[in-house]
Amino acid sequence: MKKTILFLFILSVFYFSQQKEKGSIIVPSQSITIYSDKKPSAKYRLNVRYEGIVYKHGSGPDSCDYLGARDIWIWKYKNIYYMHYDGAGPKGWLTCIAVSKNLKEWESKGKVIDFGKIGSSDCASSSYGTVYYDGNKWHMFYLGTPNTSEAPNFVPAFPYLTMKAESKSLLGPWKKRYDIIPFTIEPQTYYSSTASPGFILKQGSEYLMFFQQV
């Protein structure tokens, strides 16, 4: 766990240093707070401005997000911005996609992936789709779970599992790869309940992923 934290810290420092070189408004804090657990507050902070709601749930096709739209994943490809988000629909939460040219006005195109068969690890939710393009095909790592809260909300419940799908197009169709398990929960570890997907980057000949754990 210490190695993971150290790795994330180093990557964060590298990211902020790169951003500063690009002329961003990231500046070091003039005051560092030391909390009760001896850990300091963040040295670098982004000066942000609230822009309001840019996408309102309930406008997606086939009621795919009539109860909510959250947990976004945004990337740019060929001058178009794409956003995966969790659409809370009639049967549960699925990865949906919306497109934009300016990051402010978004049009939902609906769900891009469906539930798995009864008894599968993603039969109750296939949501939070992170993507990576290797120059040949698109790879999606999504959150699968067989458990949710009761209807009508169907909020995904533990365990959160990282699952994989592939496509030649970022709009799909996506082929689920049940034969590939990127990583999974491990009993009696800091990721015993969740091992859900995150940001992916390539370093040398290896691929690294920030994954979420509880």
pLDDT over 60 (residue 17): no
pLDDT over 80 (residue 177): yes
Q: What is the pLDDT of residues 20-38, one digit of tens each?
A: 444 456 778 888 999 888 8
Q: What is the pLDDT of residues 78-120, one digit of tens each?
A: 999 999 999 999 999 999 999 999 999 999 999 999 999 999 9
Residue 191 and residue 214: Cα distance in Å, rounded?
5
Residue 46 and residue 85: Cα distance in Å, rounded?
23
Number of H helices, E strands in the chain: 1, 14
Q: What is the pLDDT of residues 118-140, one digit of tens each?
A: 999 999 999 999 999 999 999 99
Is-contact 122 161, C-beta < 8 A? Answer: yes
102 Cβ contact list (under 8 Å, min separation 6): 81
pLDDT over 80 (residue 8): no
Is-contact 213 191, C-beta < 8 A? Answer: yes
- Overall residue count recorded for the chain in this entry: 214
